[in-house]
A = this chain, B = another copy of it.
Amino acid sequence: MDLNDADSEFEALLRGALPDDAVGPSEPRYLEEPRGRYHGRETVVVRPRSAEEVATVVRLAGQARVGVVAYGGGTGLVGGQISTDGPLPVILSLERMAAIREVYPQENVLICDAGAVLADIQAAADAVERLFPLSLASEGSARIGGNLATNAGGTAVLRYGNARALCLGLEAVLPDGQIWRGLQRLRKDNTGYDLRNLLIGSEGTLGVITAAALKLSPKPAARGTAIFVVPSPKAALDLLALAQAQLGELVSGFELISGQGLAFLAETVPEVRQPFDAAPDWAVLVDVGLVAGLDPQGALEQLFVAAAEAGLALDGVIAQSAQQSDEFWFVREHIPEANKRIGAVISSDVSVPLGAIPEFVELGRAEIAKIGAFRINCFGHVGDGNLHYNVFPLPGGRAADHANQRGDLQRAVHDLAHRLGGSVSAEHGVGRLKVEDLERYGDPAKLSALRAIKAALDPLGIMNPGAVLRN
């Protein structure tokens, strides 16, 4: 189905149907993304204030056969929010739909507009002594509609699940312009197919999420954080099992940190205080959120003693205060910034079955070595089997000098993850970056079902054309 440009004629249509200030030119911020890989093209931006206005935009786009790219906080890492080629789409920004609509503390539910900033949602939950556990580096600017559209992950998935697991209901505009009013506050509802989870993770290609009913959690009574030096990734996994045997689901976070990552941090962000004098090869950050009656420092000490006895921990520091907890997380959270300053040749977002992590780390190194001499920073949400596997030039080298090896490197990492039963997009989505990967690694039966669903719900192909599935 051929689409048309969002040209001045289409812009006039929008102006005729929406309040005057809802339609405008695309400022540069709509055309950039965090990693600088994708550059958008100037086009018309529409900033609706209600689901009804979103529906108007989608209906007009359908009539004019113009693509619609939904835009949240612009923090996506796979180019899902940036259209780079094909007919010019309209950019539909949710920024004016940013309200927390209602909070129901007794129900552990919060309802907000899709444009609500993640940090604002966290704060609104905190204000009623609840937790909205979705937590990621970009939470200060990411908007919940985008978090849901990409099924965002982050650092608390081990305990609380992905964005998908935190959503009870949606309001969304479907590609035909109908508004689905599904803002349920229900824990159980088995009336028909799971449209909610179909829209979650569809990256704007099956509709535009306009509001969400989110699931809050009881706030842990006390939090504890530790960083343990582990002899190997295998030991990290065994340590996770030990931690869960002792503390069950109260283990909230379990993050792998590599010596390479700590070295990058020391080099590029020296103001971040390192937990150990000499950077260990491997460390894990363990975060626990306990109920009343349990002492986090004591529980982490007990874990350390058992881990040390089993040869799973060589050294460790346990935060003695909330401030120190934050400092430990500061280390973990600045590793992506350090990576950025060093300049990666490739970065990856793979997941593998937990048991395959040691093999992945070992074989990954060997596969990379076949291509050339590189530094590897392998880190991330090891409790979820989700590793960010980033490859860097040797000291003094520049990422740009390895541009011609980029494809081979990415392919080697993805092939390996796939071979071990893993995913080439664990938490970032497909966007435009991994459309070919989805075709290469996706199960054929699944792919044909996905294409059939896309054609059925968006027969004109107007929703985020070029993302997830090839046009």
Binding site for B on A (CB under 8 A): 104-109, 129, 150-151, 153, 157-158, 161-162, 164-165, 174, 176, 178-182, 184-195, 197-198, 200-202, 206, 217-218, 220-221, 237-238, 241, 244-250, 289, 291-294, 299, 351-355, 381, 383-386, 421-430, 434, 437-438, 441-450, 452-457, 468-469
Min CB gap A299→B, angstroms: 7
Residue numbers in B under 8 Å from A201 (CB-CB): 190, 192-194
Q: Are A292 and B246 in contact (CB under 8 A)?
A: yes
- State the Cβ distance, A183 to closest chain B Cβ, in Å: 9
Q: How far is the CA of A107 from the CA of B354 in the complex (A)?
A: 5
Question: How far is the CB of A245 from the nearest CB of chain B, in Å?
Answer: 6
Least Cβ distance of A449 to chain B in Å? 6
Residues of chain B within 8 A of A423, CB atoms compared: 184, 186, 188-191
Docked Cα-Cα span, A187 to B106, in Å, equals: 29
Q: Are B189 and A426 in contact (CB under 8 A)?
A: yes
A166 to chain B, nearest CB (A): 11
Residues of B within 8 A of A441 (CB): 191
Which residues of chain B come closer than 8 Å to A351, judged between CB atoms?
A: 186-189
Q: Are A194 and B197 in contact (CB under 8 A)?
A: yes
A107: B residues at CB distance < 8 A: 353-355, 385
Set B153, B161, B443: member contacting A180, Cβ < 8 A: B443
Residues in B with CB closer than 8 Å to A220 are 248
The docked-state distance in angstroms from the alpha carbon of A182 to that of B427 is 17
| Contact across chains for B249 and A217 when beta carbons are under 8 A apart | yes
What's the nearest-Cβ distance from chain B to residue A37, in Å? 18
- Which residue on chain B has the smallest CB distance to residue A458? B452
Q: B353–A192 contact, CB under 8 A?
A: no
Name the CB-closest residue of B to A383: B187
| Copies of this polypeptide in the complex | 2
* Least distance between A121 CB and chain B CB atoms (Å): 19
- Listed by A's residue number, 27 A-B pairs whose Cβ atoms lie within 8 Å are A104-B354, A107-B353, A107-B354, A109-B353, A109-B354, A157-B188, A178-B445, A180-B446, A186-B353, A187-B385, A188-B386, A189-B423, A190-B427, A190-B430, A191-B437, A191-B442, A192-B442, A192-B468, A194-B200, A217-B249, A220-B248, A293-B293, A294-B294, A452-B456, A452-B457, A453-B453, A456-B456
Decide: A384 and B187 in contact? CB cutoff 8 A: yes
The 9 tightest CB contacts between A and B, nearest first, are A456-B456, A178-B445, A197-B197, A189-B423, A185-B353, A188-B426, A180-B445, A187-B384, A107-B354
Complex Cα distance, B237 from A466, in Å, reads 48
Min distance, Cβ A215 to any Cβ of chain B, angstroms:
10
A165 to B109, CA, bound (A): 18
Docked Cα-Cα span, A312 to B352, in Å, equals 47
The smallest beta-carbon distance between A442 and chain B, in angstroms, is: 6
CB-based contact B447/A192 at 8 Å? yes
Query: Which chain B positions have C-beta within 8 A of A191?
Result: 423-425, 430, 434, 437-438, 441-442
Chain B residues near A158 (CB-CB < 8 A): 187
Q: Which of the residues B129, B184, B293 comes within 8 Å of A421, measured between beta carbons?
A: B184
Query: Which one of A104, A151, A206, A351 has the greatest number of beta carbons of chain B within 10 Å?
Result: A351
Distance between Cα atoms of A445 and B52 in the complex (Å):
14
Question: Of all chain B residues, which has the CB nearest A295?
Answer: B293
Alpha-carbon distance A448/B175, docked complex (angstroms): 11
